[in-house]
Structure 1
Amino acid sequence: MHTLVHFTKPIEVMPLAVHRRLLPDWGTTYGPADEGPHPAVLVLHGSEGGLSGWSHRTAAILAASGFLAYPHAYSKGGNAWNAGSIETIELSRTVEALQSLRSFAPCNGRVALYGVSRGAEHALLVATLMAQEKLDGAADAVACLAAPDVVCGAFDARSFRDAGDPGWQAWDPARRAWTWHGRNDTLLPTTPIAVEDFESPLFLAAGLKDQTWSPDMTKRLEARRRNHRLDVEAHYYTGEGHVPGSEGENHHHRLLIDFLERTLLD
């Protein structure tokens, strides 16, 4: 038996706090309900893949905090159940996405890169390569959680690798994760990422109990920035692993959002 329920007064519909907007030719963005413009963040996922939903979740959190966020899916293949691969990913496409996001009407013209794990590597490489070639439109800030300090090899979700520091990982040199204008000869696995080559503010964070990427990599990145007297803000989370727990994630997001506000709004 079905019971019909009749409402005697209209239901109050609460306005959405986060709105989706299509970035033409790229994908969905998440941002505050008002048209802004707002500072923007291009979010780069890790080896969980672009269709897993995690980068969209991060983008929604940033949107609720006042930013226009675009989760850039760059992994190849895969779906919501299969991460796909990170192999021969053309980094110049991310530069194009960055430029499109900056010129998007809801954006105020200031954009940060934020990546986690392989996404952090991706963000650092894009910032470094753009600086080395003196390309216009570089990110106004870069933020990373669990970043490697070296170029890593290709990843395929169907295989697994040992935990630890990819500086000593025996990556297959025939399989490259990244290309730059169609070339991969300068992005060899275990090559140090030249974070001293870009001058935009850099936020680094790592869990001290990370068993996937060693937090020592973040410490080396921080040291290289400080040795070159470049802007760096580093945070190390006691008791947290590669993916922070609930309280750890809340703490990380507070620090990240504070950094983004200071670098994109001031």
Structure 2
Amino acid sequence: MSTLNITVSPADDLIDVPRRIVVTGAQPGELVQVASRTVRAGAVWRSSARFVADTAGHVDLTLAPAVEGDYAGISAMGLLWSQAPEQPGRRELFHADVLQPLTTSLEASGASGKAEAELIQRLSGDGVTRREVREQGLVGTLFLPAGPGPHPAVMILNGSGGGINEPRAALYASHGYAAFALAYFKAPGLSDYISNTPLEYFEKGLDWLRASVKPLGDFVAISGQSRGGELVLLLGATFPQKVSAVLAYVPSALVHSGQNACDPAIGREGPTWLRDGKPLTHQWENNRHASWAPFDDGAPPHRHVLAMLTALQDKEAVAKARIPVEHIDAPVLLLSATDDGSWPSSIYSKMVSDKLDEVAHPHTVEWHDYQDAGHAILFPYVPTTQISYAHPVSKRISTGGGEPAANAHADKHSWHHAQEFLRNAIGAHLARSAQPSRKEVP
């Protein structure tokens, strides 16, 4: 008869809430294995690790180091971030319906027997509503928190994979934000490619969001990762009066060409962004040193960053393609990674931070650079093991870089700071709004 027992606390909560997983009933010094199994978008993901029971016969994953298995050392949620898919190549972490929770089965086993428990992670909290948006030419999904509001708003933009970032928007709504995940390509009714995307489309999105949800204090932040990180800096600089805060995940300091997400008819050196119908100058344009060879050559997985580094050698081309971040009139959060395999987000973030420091930017600027992490910075607690992938548009096998443990740290740390950054940005915004204008001062 088994004497083992395993508990999870809390057993059912939002995905970013850490859990305490504890096994009891083992013999002191007994080797106990804990295994996890999660079905994600129809695919099975698994992990396991072994631990030594303490003198009371307990294994508390917040205290006990993994001595064997899919991760090493102490990590309370290591069984989640170290998961890998049974079927190679599967990368979808969430169900297509983000309102459906992820259920992880845990099994503890050892000489003292077996025990099972469940851990439930939700992207969408109680009362969060989801609404598809297909109006004024916009394609996206609006998530609203429980309660009448008004709520501060966030517009969320994806990167070169395109589509609608519903998971991040649902989680933002679960934390009290009116969250609008806006697609701009690779979504119903839109182009399959990033090439020739007009910035006015995003201005319309900002205007629609304000008119639709009437946010608290007229606060609308923008959050984007990768090409979306480039984009939110560009939007903040282009429409400064319409952006209340900028959250740039693994961003670029420069305007880039279409690259892996380009329309093949236009090519990867063709333009990405249009303003008033005219293409914005990008870093590959008339660049005397830019070369795709370091990315194209050799066996996969390919490191896109190697080509991007060649383009940085032409200082004149870089200067012409630089995003004028000094025009941003809002707090800025930069999140980068030292082993970014897609592009040099650490170098780019430093360029942005240095420019804002040079001009004495009047708002908060935060920069967090994650050692040994890669391009995929998301939120806790999700698998971080699938580093190589086929690009969603070009299908080229590439690596985002980073190590699973470092990526997991970046996920956790960045999300904590993003929440804190937004709270502080809202507070500062509301305080400025409450100050009387010069005309109102008696």
Q: TM-score range by the shorter chain?
A: 0.7 to 0.9
> How far has the Cα of 1:22 moved from its partner?
4.7
> How far has the Cα of 1:77 moved from its partner?
6.0
Question: Is residue 113 of structure 1 aligned with residue 222 of structure 2?
Answer: yes
The 2-side partners of 1:60 and 1:213 are apart by 28
The 2-side partners of 1:114 and 1:241 are apart by 18
**In the alignment, which residue of structure 2 is the partner of 1:223?**
354
Question: Is residue 74 of structure 1 aligned with residue 184 of structure 2?
Answer: yes
Q: 2:166 aligns with which of 45, 51, 56?
A: 56
The 1-side partners of 2:408 and 2:369 are apart by 16
Identical aligned pairs, as a percentage? Answer: 28
TM-score (norm 1): 0.78
RMSD of aligned residue pairs (Cα, Å): 2.5
One-letter amino acid of the counterpart of residue 253, structure 2? D
Q: Please list, as runs of the form range in 1=range in 2, the aligned pairs for 1:34-183 lying within 5 A after superposition.
A: 34-51=147-164, 55-76=165-186, 84-105=192-213, 107-108=215-216, 109-131=218-240, 137-157=241-261, 172=269, 175-183=270-278
One-letter amino acid of the counterpart of residue 37, structure 1? P
Deviations 1:190-243 (A, max 9, x none): 511111122211111101221212111111111111111113111111221111
Conserved in 2, the CA contact under 8 Å of 1:49 and 1:78? no
> How far has the Cα of 1:16 moved from its partner?
2.7
| Change in 2 beyond 3 A, CA 1:256/1:216 | same
Conserved in 1, the CA contact under 8 Å of 2:193 and 2:263? no
The 2-side partners of 1:158 and 1:140 are apart by 30
The alignment of Structure 1 onto Structure 2 pairs a total of residues equal to: 229
TM-score (norm 2): 0.48
The 2-side partners of 1:259 and 1:77 are apart by 30
**In the alignment, which residue of structure 2 is the partner of 1:4?**
none
**In the alignment, which residue of structure 2 is the partner of 1:32?**
145
The 2-side partners of 1:255 and 1:58 are apart by 15
| Change in 2 beyond 3 A, CA 1:20/1:35 | farther
Q: 1:20 aligns with which of 125, 130, 146?
A: 130
> How far has the Cα of 1:35 moved from its partner?
2.3
**In the alignment, which residue of structure 2 is the partner of 1:12?**
none
The unaligned stretches of length 5 or more in structure 1 are 1-14, 132-136, 161-170
Choose between structure 1 and 2: higher strand proportion. 2
Conserved in 1, the CA contact under 8 Å of 2:194 and 2:262? no
Conserved in 2, the CA contact under 8 Å of 1:56 and 1:71? yes
Conserved in 1, the CA contact under 8 Å of 2:157 and 2:225? yes
One-letter amino acid of the counterpart of residue 281, structure 2? L
The 2-side partners of 1:156 and 1:213 are apart by 12
> How far has the Cα of 1:76 moved from its partner?
4.7
Question: Is residue 188 of structure 1 aligned with residue 282 of structure 2?
Answer: yes
Give the SS at the match of 1:28: strand
Conserved in 1, the CA contact under 8 Å of 2:221 and 2:243? yes
The 1-side partners of 2:426 and 2:208 are apart by 17
Conserved in 2, the CA contact under 8 Å of 1:148 and 1:218? yes
Give the SS at the match of 1:254: helix
**In the alignment, which residue of structure 2 is the partner of 1:260?**
422
Conserved in 1, the CA contact under 8 Å of 2:254 and 2:282? no
One-letter amino acid of the counterpart of residue 47, structure 1? S
